[in-house]
Amino acid sequence: MQYIKITDAIREQIQSGQLAAGTKLPSERKLAEAFKTTRVTLREALSLLEADGLIFREDRRGWFISQRPLIVSLSKPYDFNDVAVSQGRKPSTEVLSSDSMMANKESSEALSLPPFSDVFRFERVHGVDGRPVMYAEHYLRAERVPNLLQHGLEGDLSELYHSQWQLRFTKSCYRLVSTTFDKDVALATRSTSGSPAMKITKVNFDESGVAQEVVFEYWRCSAIELEMEAAFNLR
């Protein structure tokens, strides 16, 4: 099929280094003309490359060659900024909103909250080397971190929780699913609605085993590579 040939041709140029990370591809019109195909067929090829994490699309800007992903280990707690810096990347964090609210269904279930419980909710967008790659939505039990919204939320949250409220997380549980960006998350990450994404739900537990925070992370698929270690007790 023609879209497979187009996919293979662009993939070869990426893997050979002819198309470097961050390079902007020509417009879809020009690519279609170059490959002597229709834009419908071209988009099929580009969608395959996007699903493989080789290219990404930014709304109103076009298609770009993906940069190397961040390697995130789920074997221990991770902080976005620390992960990026340790891999020689430049991180950034922007707080989009923060407020107090009644827990919704998803946060109530994750935190095992009774009806009508209050939580703090805030949204952050994380970037690497000037490119937004992950949107995070946080929910915390309000009674455990009073006056949270009076503090800056751009930095290391674990350090903030511990220094202000002596809250330390001793366990995290993760759930990973493939999904797509909805309109709001796509806007926050300069992506397009319907683009493939990886959703990581992270529930953080305190020393008493109580779930205190749930974070819903939406990553560009091309921006993250997961690893995990497992120890076995062999008899």
Q: So what's the pLDDT on residue 102?
A: 97
Report whether 144 contacts 231 (CB < 8 A). no
Please identify which residue in the block is written with the tokens 């699309």. Answer: 57
Q: So what's the pLDDT on residue 125?
A: 98
Q: Specify the pTM.
A: 0.85
In the chain, the domains with their CATH numbers are 2-65 (1.10.10.10), 70-227 (3.40.1410.10)
Residue 126's closest CA among 72, 48, 62? 72
Report whether 205 contacts 211 (CB < 8 A). yes
Encode pLDDT of 70-107 as tens digits. 999 998 888 999 999 999 999 999 999 999 999 999 99
Using CA atoms, how far residue 193 sits from 29, 39, 42, 50, 179, in Å, is 21, 19, 19, 14, 11
Q: Between β-strands 211-220 and 196-206, what pairing exists: parallel, antiparallel or unpaired?
A: antiparallel
Report how far residue 45's alpha carbon sits from residue 135's, in angstroms, rounded to the nearest whole number. 27
Q: So what's the pLDDT on residue 204?
A: 96
Lowest mean pLDDT among 1-5, 106-110, 135-139: 1-5
Encode pLDDT of 157-195 as tens digits. 999 999 999 999 999 999 999 999 999 999 999 988 998
